[in-house]
Structure 1
Amino acid sequence: MEDVANGERPQAHDLPTPVGYELTVRELLTLPSLTGSKLIAGAGGLEQIVLRVNVIEVPDILPWVKPNELLITTGFPLRHADSGQPFDPAALVELIEGLARRGAAALGVKEGRYLDELPAAMLEASDRLGFPLFLIPREIGFDEVMSEVFTHLVDRQAWALDVADRMHRALTKIVLEGGDLPQIADEVAALFDAAVLICTPDGRVQATAGATPNLQALHGLPLFDPSGRLRTERLHHGLQPAPDTEAGQIAVAPVVAGGIDHGLIVAFVADGGLGPVTVQALERAATVVALAVTKQLAVSAVESKFRGDFLRDVLNGTAGTTAQITEHCAQLEWDVNRRMVVVVAELDPDADPATAGRTTPRPVAGRMPQQRFTAAWQQVVRRRDRFAPVVGFSHEVVALMPVGGSDAKTVIEELIAAVTGDRGGGRHSFCTGVSRVIDSVAGIPQAYDQARKAVTVGRRMHGNGAVAHFDGLGVHRLLSLVDDSAELQAFATEVLGSLAGDADEAIDLRQTLQALLDTNCNVAETARVLHFHYNTLRYRIGKLESIVGPFTTDPILRLDVALALRVVEMEGL
């Protein structure tokens, strides 16, 4: 028995294009060694792929049959197909059904040897199951068939390896000569006449290539979210049908280097024509893409360190005069002479999959979430404005976004939508804080402080994924401007007394107190909201007033109590 790998010959633009890489049963019957063979049943399976060839020499062959295997035999084993018992046509039906279950490609029987004709029930089973059954002329030797089939399979596999090797050398040359991802994508797209896409692990597109019709068909698939990112969670490694198409195919290979997941390279054709050979070639291309990405990351790390150090000095107000900052920013290709807001984004505490309840380990490690988060913001911001500063630090990403005549909220909403996407494929939730609009470099340090406070207060008030504008914080904005947190805590303790503590009873009574304030001390409405009996709530009000005073009748006290509750709520900010 001979065994080789499977694949399919693409239409390459610069390589010879002989017959397809796959060897089907239909093509098999045209080989010289099978001249005169006659298909007698199972025409529905002529497109089955042949990977192996074997001779049936014993009746009980089923335990050793492998998928995509061509089986040839004389009539002798068939006459004893039922474990050596006398000939029984029903046993041949069971044989055909067993071969079909095991994924065999076809069965060839030498005519006129030991079996005058195959029973009609056996032919009916072959037609019903789409399992090709053909007769081989008596004068053809099995050794001729096996030798020719094996030779064709090896030749086609060698061709596939040659395609992958040539492409690998061409792509490596591109990288060594300073090429980048778009050039790699162009090379692969031209080789397979396909649309090619390279993306990050969470689907952010880094490069596309191919003819315009191919690219339009690719982007028309239901695989992209509204922000334009590929939904990587809907794809898997290897060849697969394109959704919502009749004959479209997608080939996918992961981009991995040093155990780090750097994304995917994807090839798409609308009318089929891809195959395992494309997957093999894409895997070679993915290695080169990983080399290019690693090189980019190394260069970017040095540049980011330099840019980050300078921007941190700007944010802290220690970078020099306004003129010096402006000049240095211009050298870094940053434009800060315009109306802008400072945006601070922080990953939420449970963004790490280890703390998000995931129990299944990933086979390949990804870059650190903060690194990927920074890369996401940089790509989205630069796509909108390439002169806008955006830098990632150890726990946050800071961007100076121009707003011009646009509404700052609209600008930020668009950015966050692009970074967030559909939250699939390992994307992490994050909180965002936005400063007031500033008109000059001199206002950056104060705006940065505002954005950081907005992030902290926003997460505290609204939980993970919050977006907070400093001007929209209300009373929390005023409280956050008090630098002396001890003074705030002292105020809360003076007003609330024992209710400012962390005991369960204190927390429970604070919730009741807050509900009363929210309903303007309407006892009936508060009882309904809290699902309390009216008398129970009246008892609680008496207990609260014994601690904080007559807040139901004293409006000034109610204001103090409301502020004190906000201070307690902001504890730890």
Structure 2
Amino acid sequence: METRTDLWTRRTGETHTVPPRLRLASTGTLKYGLPVREVLGVSTLADAELVAGAAGLDRIVQRLNVMEVPDVLAWVKPNELLLTTGYPLRNRPEALGHLVTGLNERGVAALAVKPGAYLDELPKEMLARADRLGFPLIQLPEHVGFDDILNQVLTDILNRQAAILARTEEVHRALVQIVLAGGGLPEVTAELAELLDGAVLALDGDERVLAGAGSAADLKTLELWLERHHGLGLHGDRVVVPVAAAGEDHGLIAAYFPGRELSDTEVGILERAATVAALVVTKQQAVAAVESKYRADFLRDVLAGRAGDAERVVAHCAGFGWDLARPVAVIVASPDLESDGSAVPVRQPDSAKHAQERLAAAWAAAVRRRDRDAAVAAFAHEVVAVVGLPAEGTLADLVAGLVREVSTAEGLEFTTGVSRPAPGPATLPEAYDQAGKAVRVGRQLHGPGETAHFDALGVYRLLSLVDDSAELHAFVAETLGDLAGDADPEAADLRRTLQVLLETNLNVAETARRLHFHYNTLRYRIGKLERMLGPFTEDPHLQLNVNLALRVLRMRGI
């Protein structure tokens, strides 16, 4: 049996026989077994002969079965070594060729036949077909019993599988101790890189590098390879395993071992390390959630004016890494929701809660890259950032860059509101109110996905400062009368005519062109509007009132 130098040999100086081959399934689950070539090396098969299908010697044997019925294809399983005397097909030797095809299609590892009692020899068609398919066909000697083969091969697989599990369990306990002692992903990856003598990276669910260990050149090579293409499993001298817990994907562990393949034990260790990494990530997420809530609660108090005097606010925020002693602006980003509460998608559907989490993480990352002293927190239905005024460029340029980066990265649609500059903590509640109003007015006027600056809202800024909405509604009803309601389609149509007429500064010809009306039709409509509203075409004060009422009506729901 072959021996191999691997992790345990390097650490202990001991050598041991090669453990059974492992294969990573698409989910990362390890599959244990022996290649057919190693099965042929056990003592009970010393006199067995491979008569066809040599190209399939690397097929994995995980279980054994004995063919006792002619319709065995209904009972076989993948990765089986099937044993037979040919008795079920003794009267139909021509069916053996079709049997090989059927077994190959069902993923059987190999077929071992003992001729003599029921088959004088294996048909040439059977041998030819096995060679074409790369399906190993083994001829057994007459003196070997099936029970001996079953016992020895299964015992060999199980014993060596147990040895692998024992070794990987020992390393798993060591990695868990690192975590229990307060270590995180940097310590786990460092231990793995030392044990496996390679480069190891831990990545989050978005495949951003969280930690890494190994030589700088090997880490760079591994990162570049991951950017281009990868899939779970073994890739020559590289391996990728998933980090998952409770059915949730937390990221990946990738490893690179230049110029050599991993031993089976080392692959098992990496998979156990992925479990430990999931423990680290979930612990960090729990801690981060508590810290994030505490930060958000304090920032909410600051923006509501409940956090105390300016000196206390500045000192407390400094502990979070926030600098609020400088001129700042408040930015509010609010996800645009469908009527069912789901986020308006740019690329894919999303729940409101998940959209909020993704939006908060993306805004925090984008803001931190531009201003490390900014405060960013997620509230119930919005993300709030308090950023310093840029030393170069304008606030509008800064916000446009943030919106562009977040919307491109996350594929979500959101409306953004920006306050006036705030000189200090005492003016932050007012600035937060301005940013919130900019969001609401901007979404109402321009639809979802817009960015609105409070200073650029014009007359809508003044209207939004009126706290008594009932008074605004009364003003609309008094000025527009029957035109204020939406129940009558004719009223809505006349209101549209009035809006365009005022936008063109009472230019009848231009209004008729925009609305595709005949000139005389529009003159008739203007007469009807004046009978309902009064002589607004001649009275500038009435015209101003009508214009304001239309704008208040447009802000309905704000």
Q: TM-score range by the shorter chain?
A: 0.7 to 0.9
Report if aligned partners of 2:200, 2:256 keep a CA contact under 8 Å in 1: yes
- Helix, strand or coil: the match of 1:67? coil
Give me the identity figure in percent: 50
Residue 314 of structure 1 aligns with an amino acid whose one-letter code is V
Other-structure match for 2:185: 181
Q: Shift of the alpha carbon at 1:65?
A: 0.5
2:555 paired with 1:570? yes
Cα distance in 1 between the residues matched to 2:537 and 2:6? 80
Cα distance in 2 between the residues matched to 1:414 and 1:116? 80
Residue 204 of structure 2 aligns with an amino acid whose one-letter code is C
Residue 551 of structure 2 aligns with an amino acid whose one-letter code is R
Cα distance in 2 between the residues matched to 1:196 and 1:292? 14
2:424 paired with 1:436? no
More deviation in 98-107 or 501-510? Answer: 501-510
Report if aligned partners of 2:362, 2:406 keep a CA contact under 8 Å in 1: yes
Residue 245 of structure 2: which of 252, 255, 258 is its match?
Answer: 255
Q: How has the CA–CA distance of structure 1 residues 94 and 556 changed in structure 2, closer, same or farther, with 3 Å as cutoff?
A: farther
Q: Shift of the alpha carbon at 1:112?
A: 4.4
Cα distance in 2 between the residues matched to 1:188 and 1:253? 15
Q: Shift of the alpha carbon at 1:455?
A: 1.8
Other-structure match for 2:86: 75
More deviation in 146-155 or 95-104? Answer: 146-155
Residue 244 of structure 2 aligns with an amino acid whose one-letter code is P
Cα distance in 2 between the residues matched to 1:161 and 1:353? 48
Report if aligned partners of 1:11, 1:273 keep a CA contact under 8 Å in 2: no
Residue 118 of structure 2: which of 114, 127, 133 is its match?
Answer: 114
Q: Shift of the alpha carbon at 1:560?
A: 4.4
Q: Shift of the alpha carbon at 1:331?
A: 3.7
Residue 208 of structure 1: which of 186, 208, 211 is its match?
Answer: 211
2:402 paired with 1:397? no
Gaps of 5+ in 2: 23-33
Residue 209 of structure 1 aligns with an amino acid whose one-letter code is G
Cα distance in 2 between the residues matched to 1:366 and 1:159? 48
Cα distance in 1 between the residues matched to 2:502 and 2:195? 70
Residue 103 of structure 2 aligns with an amino acid whose one-letter code is L
Cα distance in 2 between the residues matched to 1:503 and 1:460? 20
Cα distance in 2 between the residues matched to 1:352 and 1:342? 29
Q: How has the CA–CA distance of structure 1 residues 570 and 353 changed in structure 2, closer, same or farther, with 3 Å as cutoff?
A: closer
Report if aligned partners of 2:241, 2:274 keep a CA contact under 8 Å in 1: no
- Helix, strand or coil: the match of 2:142? coil
Larger Rg: 2
- Helix, strand or coil: the match of 2:481? helix
More deviation in 294-303 or 461-470? Answer: 294-303
Q: How has the CA–CA distance of structure 1 residues 465 and 331 changed in structure 2, closer, same or farther, with 3 Å as cutoff?
A: same
Cα distance in 2 between the residues matched to 1:59 and 1:294? 53
Q: How has the CA–CA distance of structure 1 residues 571 and 124 changed in structure 2, closer, same or farther, with 3 Å as cutoff?
A: same
Residue 239 of structure 1: which of 217, 232, 239 is its match?
Answer: 232
More deviation in 59-68 or 36-45? Answer: 36-45
Other-structure match for 1:131: 135
Q: Shift of the alpha carbon at 1:195?
A: 4.2
Give a deviation string over 1:542-566, Cα, whole Å, max 9, x none: 5444434566777776654443322
Cα distance in 1 between the residues matched to 2:497 and 2:327? 45
- Helix, strand or coil: the match of 2:470? helix
Residue 239 of structure 1 aligns with an amino acid whose one-letter code is L
Other-structure match for 1:170: 174
Report if aligned partners of 1:252, 1:279 keep a CA contact under 8 Å in 2: no
Tell me: higher relative CO, structure 1 or 2? Use CA pairs within 8 A at least 6 residues apart: 1
Report if aligned partners of 1:432, 1:455 keep a CA contact under 8 Å in 2: yes
Q: Shift of the alpha carbon at 1:280?
A: 6.8
Cα distance in 2 between the residues matched to 1:120 and 1:504? 89
Report if aligned partners of 1:189, 1:267 keep a CA contact under 8 Å in 2: no
- Helix, strand or coil: the match of 1:483? coil
Cα distance in 1 between the residues matched to 2:270 and 2:533? 71
Q: How has the CA–CA distance of structure 1 residues 210 and 324 changed in structure 2, closer, same or farther, with 3 Å as cutoff?
A: closer
Report if aligned partners of 1:253, 1:279 keep a CA contact under 8 Å in 2: no
Q: How has the CA–CA distance of structure 1 residues 556 and 110 changed in structure 2, closer, same or farther, with 3 Å as cutoff?
A: farther
Cα distance in 1 between the residues matched to 2:263 and 2:458? 60
Other-structure match for 1:499: 483
Give a deviation string over 1:180-208, Cα, whole Å, max 9, x none: 233334445655645433425xx274713
2:471 paired with 1:466? no
Q: Shift of the alpha carbon at 1:179?
A: 1.8
Cα distance in 2 between the residues matched to 1:21 and 1:539? 89
Residue 148 of structure 1 aligns with an amino acid whose one-letter code is Q
Report if aligned partners of 2:20, 2:264 keep a CA contact under 8 Å in 1: no
Other-structure match for 1:62: 73
Q: How has the CA–CA distance of structure 1 residues 109 and 413 changed in structure 2, closer, same or farther, with 3 Å as cutoff?
A: farther
Report if aligned partners of 2:83, 2:113 keep a CA contact under 8 Å in 1: yes
TM-score norm. by structure 2 comes to 0.78
Other-structure match for 2:321: 333
Within 5 A, what are the aligned runs for 1:349-388?
Answer: 349-350=337-338, 370=356, 373-382=359-368, 384-388=370-374
Q: Shift of the alpha carbon at 1:371?
A: 5.4
Q: How has the CA–CA distance of structure 1 residues 461 and 251 changed in structure 2, closer, same or farther, with 3 Å as cutoff?
A: farther
More deviation in 310-319 or 67-76? Answer: 310-319
TM-score norm. by structure 1 comes to 0.77
Give a deviation string over 1:361-387, Cα, whole Å, max 9, x none: 99xx99876556545544554455443
Q: How has the CA–CA distance of structure 1 residues 119 and 391 changed in structure 2, closer, same or farther, with 3 Å as cutoff?
A: same
Q: How has the CA–CA distance of structure 1 residues 50 and 483 changed in structure 2, closer, same or farther, with 3 Å as cutoff?
A: same
Cα distance in 2 between the residues matched to 1:508 and 1:191? 77
Give a deviation string over 1:318-349, Cα, whole Å, max 9, x none: 43443333233334432223332212233333
Other-structure match for 2:63: 52
CA RMSD, aligned part only?
A: 4.3
Residue 196 of structure 1: which of 188, 194, 201 is its match?
Answer: 201
Report if aligned partners of 2:337, 2:352 keep a CA contact under 8 Å in 1: no
Give a deviation string over 1:423-457, Cα, whole Å, max 9, x none: 36xxx543322222334333322221211112222
Residue 254 of structure 2: which of 267, 277, 288 is its match?
Answer: 267
2:109 paired with 1:105? yes
- Helix, strand or coil: the match of 1:349? coil
Other-structure match for 2:466: 482
Cα distance in 1 between the residues matched to 2:234 and 2:524? 67
Within 5 A, what are the aligned runs for 1:443-462?
Answer: 443-462=427-446
Residue 117 of structure 1 aligns with an amino acid whose one-letter code is E
